[in-house]
Structure 1
């Protein structure tokens, strides 16, 4: 008979939560590195645009001198023929493919929809056992003691409401 118990159950194990926190840190670092890569490309592009505009303004401001100097026209022609082609290639470069691949790799190690359902059921058991109101649960109040660090975010409350709605527990979903 096939083993129906999952090897890892994020909702049932506090030890496995340490692993999740490590994954969270890895994902955050990966996202930060991705942002830095985007920022580097943005900074480089903004600097180039500023340089291009300054050069174009200089040429326009003293057009007669620019027009009479064959070296100036050569510089403009070379710039438009070579530099803009390189910028087009630079703009086509995809940023963050390695970061995206890494994040997708980590997704296979993250909680599944089943894990989320298990966690929702465990919250429902807490509510029932401690006879908590939705407000107490959202505020992180257990056994008459407020634990603000345990308070639920609005997204957490929404997820619990949707779980109960799908379970056709309409009163609880409110």
Structure 2
């Protein structure tokens, strides 16, 4: 655990302890946006680009009340999809393992919402283009639903599974109770 860190509070804890932690308190009054890029691999050149991206946006957004810019690399084992041969909602295709790159931008002022959201979109598009330029076939890769920006089309997350998921939703929730909850709507 000798990784450089902003804060360090790593230990086994209850969920209540996590919610009451200093990190949770520090982010209590923040506004934030997630976005993601799916890649097939993390070559050193792409990792260097992620570092450059974080430095660029930190400087570019400092006057827009940005206080936290994070890019999280999520490498998975190549066997991650081997646990089942049954189809799943995500990923829409099991023919390749997609590695999500999670972006998290946090800021204070409400009038910076549009600037920060657009920055998250631009950064994701730029990193996707860099991955494509390195030969990764990710132009139409599904995006991981837990990290995508709020207005991502369902098809971008679930691909050709959207009609089937809509049919399942109609069958099990005909009165649209889940429409009262947040998240993506089928």
Q: Same fold (TM over 0.5)?
A: no
Could you state the TM-score of these two structures normalised by the residue count of structure 2?
Answer: 0.23
Higher strand content, 1 or 2: 2
Bigger RCO of structures 1 and 2 (CA < 8 A, at least 6 apart): 2
Q: Which has the higher helix share?
A: 1
Scaled by the length of structure 1, what TM-score is found? 0.24
